[in-house]
Chain A
């Protein structure tokens, strides 16, 4: 489907974006602009962190849900957007 590819291309072409990974509900990457091993590593680690963050948000307020997670490190920033808008 061209629309999916277009959307991903639009996101990837923004200034400063190094890579984009789309991850399914089990934490397995389904589309990525990085190589296989890197994608799998990032997906696995971020899935766990996202689940933890989501749990934290919902423990504080059960009506709330995680919408965006940003991790800023010295060298890069990782932005995670979940489906729970």
Chain B
């Protein structure tokens, strides 16, 4: 009776919904057929070639080969011997070139001040320039600010500033790089090979190495305060060649009587003590002067000079006026009681020269003669010594006040310059008869002392002088002071061979 009714499905079109199918368009494209071609080649002839360099030794070995290998040699020598001997004899008697001077460049007749570099903040605080140094390329001058006249322990902040003199827009009043240092800087030395690395010794006894090419955190390595470091101000830092080629160590010497050699550990940013020397009064061989103090007193070091000829020798000038010849390879253990240092300190002194009356401010080896050096101190004289005997060869009166620095000229064997306490730099020429200075360069510091001076190693006519009023003067020297004349080395040799009675 009841059945399910099935109805058809009824649908209604939507009025508002439209089909989402958009209009479609079809496009296709096709590239033109690509032309390809195949070609084959085959080498018919094959040849192999290789090169190899040969050791240069083979060239020099020919000097040891037997003469019989060169058959024509005797004939050749017969041919030329007469004419060569004739010319040589004529030459040794000739006056043709006497007084003949050659000038390839323009001669500067006088000494002129090129720049007067200052750091305004340091000058306001009355800091003095205690060390200047040129970098190895000769274009950057760096100076360290500190105090020399203060007897107190000081913790005032100081600076190390560098100027690049080869730049166009050099502003003498604004240094290119200013490094803030927590304690006064006593000495400065640029690395001999890397142009941006500079080492400095501080008043607190620390030694710091900066790298001015970095943009942040310029400290490359420092000693920090440990049992190894100096306890007294460091008066001299230098770079010495290390064990391997191309490696350099820092040598620092301070008034605590220690001379220490540090290796730079760049990874840890530390300077690691590699060897050390301690100087005590008892281990100095006396040369006739009675020692006034008894007991083991340390000898405070105020200056160090490294010999450019003999890598083992170095000279030490002390606070008490002693000038001592020391050796890096000395094996005697120092008499100083060990104080927790990591290496045993050795006694390096081999020979002692006749002492000066006061502290020796500067010692410098001559770059032209292996035995000569000059030393200056508070007695106002410059003493020219030879390493072979204790008494000086020559003593020249430089000034009536203290003399703070002395440097031999890098181009003229007989010329050296000394920085005095009156603000003058006196340049002496040993080739002249008179004992008066060849040139006096006034630093315009109104009587304040001049503490340090350095010749530029590359542009040898430039000299940098650091003054107590916080300025560094760059002087361009005249041609007379920088051009080497004939026979100067011979005169120097003669001077060195004079023996004082």
Q: Which residues of chain A have a CB within 8 Å of any CB of chain B?
A: 1, 3-4, 7-8, 10-11, 14-17, 22, 24, 28-32, 36-37, 39-40, 67-68, 70, 72, 74-75, 77, 79, 81-83, 85
Contacts and interface: CB of A to CB of B under 8 A. Distances in A.
A17 B76 CA distance: 20
Contacts of A31: 63, 67, 73
Interface string B381-415: 00000000000000000000000000000000000
A16 B92 contact: yes
Given A1-B67, A24-B70, A79-B88, A72 B97 contact: yes
Contacts of B91: 16, 77, 79
A1 B63 contact: no
A77 B84 CA distance: 13
A68 B60 contact: no
Contacts of A77: 91
Interface residues on B, range: 20 to 34
B83 A1 contact: no
Given A15-B92, A28-B59, A31-B67, 16 more contacts: A1-B74, A4-B67, A4-B73, A7-B81, A14-B88, A16-B92, A24-B70, A29-B63, A32-B63, A36-B60, A67-B83, A68-B83, A74-B484, A81-B80, A81-B84, A83-B80
A10 B62 contact: no
B199 to A, nearest CB: 32
Contacts of A81: 80, 83-84, 87
A80 B229 CA distance: 59
B59 A83 contact: no
Contacts of B97: 72
Central interface residue in B65, B67, B68, by most chain A CB within 10 Å: B67
B251 to A, nearest CB: 30
Contacts of B88: 11, 14, 16-17, 79
Interface string B60-99: 1011010110100110111111011101110110000100
A29 B62 contact: yes
B74 A40 contact: no
Contacts of A22: 73, 77
B74 A11 contact: no
B62 to A, nearest CB: 6
Contact of B76 (A11, A14, A67, A83): A83
A85 B83 contact: yes
B102 interface: yes
Nearest to B93: A15
A7 B78 CA distance: 8
Nearest to B72: A83
Contacts of A17: 88
23 contacts: A1-B68, A8-B77, A10-B81, A15-B92, A22-B77, A29-B63, A30-B62, A30-B65, A32-B63, A36-B63, A40-B60, A67-B83, A68-B83, A70-B87, A74-B102, A74-B484, A75-B486, A79-B84, A81-B84, A81-B87, A83-B76, A83-B79, A85-B79
Contacts of B81: 7, 10-11
Given A3-B74, A83-B76, A14 B92 contact: yes
A75 to B, nearest CB: 7
Contacts of B59: 28, 40
